[in-house]
């Protein structure tokens, strides 16, 4: 398969070929993370409607903006995998690919005749990443699983929010995005084992809830050894004493975290209260944690007496860790985001310039290339299938039978 991805010459994953069979967030975003760094990612979509994310707002001129963020740098190929011709074409692609990503319910790939055993028959080096809510095994494997379900089952929701109110979900689909990160990492580990150590392809089983559970810090061990069951504590956290989301005089919120005694001494100097650092109530982190409400009130009163600009100058002068709780308009205007190229622009064929999150992390020797717009449904059918040897007449027959959908090539009338 010749790699015609314009970005492929840029980034450390040049030459890697991934088939993205997933829908929505976790599986597809794992592939987007690889595409951002030069992998050729072919997104396989249902011929009529495509990925459900194409139909989730917000919309601009009928285009899903969410889709345009998470499908960037990919190619779109439409295939009806319920038809034998569609499966046959997919298997031809598998024979030339490095990895396949899917996030159907367990058993769905097998029912299509596309289980790992089927894929490795045509390509023993293939790596299949299967993402599901509860994993491929276990008593709950057949359950449907979505982001918020995974947050609940993984233990995050129980500890999120305030003690006198119901659990609160984070403002983004954190389980999906954490799983996408795990997915991209697991693929790269499998490729490394295969290519650097003479290994073989393999099947990776990744559950949404496990990605949440892994990042619940010391919950399990504290329960196991001490019988502690953490409850919702609002904005308090044992690593921050003092620490909270404090209101400033001009109505902003500032996050201040003091995680060790040396930093607390600097804060006391900044507040003009150096004696607090030697108090028998606040001298150590553990003392401050036991008196957290009290010391937080002291800090809150000080912060409330300052505007943001004056407060920032003082905190910077003493080298303290803080940030305003930034809204997206503030992020888009922030000079640090601009200096680090965190917000990049994609040129969309109909919408024009779209600003979105840039590519990270940053590589010194193999930086990522310019972002490309998310594809139209089936935009790359001819490109991908003709490289398999499918001629124009066969393409027309496949379109007639609903195996693929054909759209004009970009720039065609």
Determine the average pLDDT of the residues in 228-239.
91
What CA–CA distance (Å, rounded) separates 14 from 286? 50
Query: What percent of the chain has pLDDT above 70?
Result: 96
Binned at pLDDT 50, 70 and 90, residue 409 comes out as low
* pLDDT reading at 6 higher than 90: no
* pLDDT reading at 3 higher than 50: no
Determine the average pLDDT of the residues in 196-220.
96
Q: Can 391 be counted among the known catalytic residues?
A: no
pLDDT of residue 237: 84
Contact of 406 with 378, CB cutoff 8 Å: yes
- The tens digit of pLDDT for each residue in 7-17 reads 446 789 999 99
Q: Is it true that 17-215+351-400 and 243-332 share their CATH fold?
A: no
Residue 157 corresponds to which tokens in the numbers above?
């929701």
Domain ranges of the chain: 17-215+351-400, 243-332
Residue 407 corresponds to which tokens in the numbers above?
């759209």
Q: How many CB atoms lie within 10 A of CB 339?
A: 8
Look at residue 147 and give its three-state secondary structure: helix
pLDDT of residue 408: 63
What top-level class would CATH report for the domain 17-215+351-400?
alpha beta
Architecture of domain 243-332: 2-Layer Sandwich (3.30)
Tell which residue, 303, 273, 267, has the closest CA to residue 285. 267
- Could you say which DSSP state residue 96 is in? T
Residue-by-residue DSSP string for 176-225? HHHHHHHHHHHHHHHHHHHHHSS----EEEEEHHHHHHTTSTTHHHHHHH
pTM of the model: 0.92
Catalytic member of 176, 217, 316, 401: 176
């Amino acid at each position: 398969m010749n790699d015609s991805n314009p970005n492929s010459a840029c980034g450390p994953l040049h030459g890697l070929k991934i088939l993205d069979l997933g829908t929505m967030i976790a599986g597809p975003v794992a592939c987007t993370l690889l595409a951002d760094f030069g992998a050729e990612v072919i997104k396989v979509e249902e011929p009529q409607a495509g990925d459900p994310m194409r139909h989730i707002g917000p919309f601009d001129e009928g285009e899903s903006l969410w889709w345009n963020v998470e499908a960037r740098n990919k190619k779109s190929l439409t295939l009806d995998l319920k038809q034998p011709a569609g499966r046959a074409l997919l298997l031809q692609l598998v024979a030339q690919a490095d990895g396949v990503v899917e996030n159907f319910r367990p058993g769905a790939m097998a029912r299509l005749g596309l289980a790992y055993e089927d894929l490795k028959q045509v390509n023993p080096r293939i790596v299949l990443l299967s993402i599901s809510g509860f994993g491929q095994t276990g008593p709950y494997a057949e359950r449907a699983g979505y982001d918020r379900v995974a947050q609940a089952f993984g233990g995050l929701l129980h500890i999120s929010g305030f003690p006198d109110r119901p659990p609160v979900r984070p403002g983004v689909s954190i389980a999906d995005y954490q799983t996408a990160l795990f997915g991209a990492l697991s693929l790269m580990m499998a490729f490394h084992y295969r290519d650097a150590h003479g290994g073989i392809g393999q099947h990776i089983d990744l559950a949404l809830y496990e990605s949440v559970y892994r990042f619940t810090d010391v919950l399990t061990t504290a329960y196991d050894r001490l019988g502690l069951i953490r409850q919702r504590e609002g904005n308090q956290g044992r690593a921050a004493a003092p620490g909270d989301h404090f209101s400033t005089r001009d109505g902003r919120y500032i996050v201040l975290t003091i995680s060790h005694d040396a930093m607390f001494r600097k804060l006391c100097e900044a507040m003009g209260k150096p004696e607090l650092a030697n108090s028998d109530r606040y001298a150590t982190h553990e003392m401050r944690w036991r008196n957290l409400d009290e010391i937080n009130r002291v800090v809150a009163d000080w912060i409330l007496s300052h505007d943001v600009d004056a407060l920032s100058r003082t905190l910077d002068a003493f080298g303290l860790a803080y940030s305003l709780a930034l809204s997206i308009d503030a992020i888009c205007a922030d000079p640090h985001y601009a200096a680090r190229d965190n917000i990049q622009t994609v040129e969309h064929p109909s919408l024009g310039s779209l600003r979105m999150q840039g590519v990270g992390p940053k590589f010194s020797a193999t930086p990522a290339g310019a972002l490309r717009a998310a594809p139209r449904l089936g935009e790359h059918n001819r490109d991908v299938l003709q490289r398999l040897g499918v001629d124009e007449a066969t393409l027309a027959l496949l379109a007639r039978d609903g195996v693929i959908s054909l759209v004009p090539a970009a720039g065609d009338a």
